[in-house]
Structure 1
Amino acid sequence: MATWVWIVIAVAAVVVLALVLWSALRARRTRTLQQGFGPEYDRTVADAPSKREAEAELSERQKRREELDIRPLDAGARERYAEAWQVTQARFVDEPGGAIAEADVLIQQVMRERGYPVEDFDQRAADVSVDHPEVVNNYRAAHGISIAHERERATTEDLRRAMVHYRSLFDELLESRQPAGAENPR
């Protein structure tokens, strides 16, 4: 065979090998993101124009999270916030709307003390999704109900659901363990 034929075969083999390697790396990245983000991965892929853009967004969230100094609460802070939650929850009986607003503020206070930036809701949800992907949809739902309540479009049952949703994130944030991103860097 002529030399040029061997060169074409070699180049073709390298291209095929590169494509196989690229495909394997993409599959690994997808698997890692799916395992790390759980249902948040599916939600982000469904909302994004493409799977590639969704995965890029999730990877950016991870990078941003790694730059944050997220820390657990000390025992005193956990106790103080747990007591504040009990007061907020008790307030729900007489003032459901006020209790929901208070729960939202309490969540933000805990997040701030743990080291999460709290200026923008969407960014808060994105940041918390890295460490608590299993409850971030609850947080979004509770926030949506809170906004609906401000516009007088939420029922008492909606407010009850919001309180339950806020509680799921609150419990996660109060945990004394390190955030998932700190234990197993992605």
Structure 2
Amino acid sequence: MHGPASPGWLLVALCAATGAYCLLRMRSTIEEQRHAAGGEALMGFGMAAMAVPAAVFTPPSWAWPAYAVVFGAAALRALWAARADAHHLHHLVGTSAMVYMAVVMAASPGHHQGHGGAGLPAVTGALLLYFAGYVLLSGVRLLPAGAGTVAGGWGDRPELARACRLSMGIGMVAMLLTL
């Protein structure tokens, strides 16, 4: 993505740590946790890979279309899962945003020189509004969760899952701002 290297590395670390925790959540005894955690791990690691500062690593030309295909498949899976559970609509928006960013990066000739406004302003703006709202709502939802009891192991703690989703929302806002 565009932007200075230091914030980029912080975003990489945040997203990679979130993806790692989501992998841990995949070992949960709660089936709902396991199913959600796989898609969230993919998002976390995918966001980390896309956020590596361009000054450090310039991906090959095939990487952006590959991201679009992977996240397009994840979007189709989220669309299918949304038939039974509305929570998957958020996953659909997230994976679609990743497809959008990958397509913009692939279509931008010189996208590693740090220019702004490469995406369609209306789509980028709508995604920014959605994820900013999601971050604010997730932050509010997280506040009362700290007063509860710890349920099970690390993979079964709902307040940590909400914190990871909040982190990925913040990361998505940061990535869209640099687009």
Return the TM-score normalized by structure 1. Answer: 0.29
Higher normalized contact order (CA 8 Å, seq sep 6+, divided by chain length)? 2
> In terms of Rg, which structure is larger?
1
Return the TM-score normalized by structure 2. Answer: 0.29
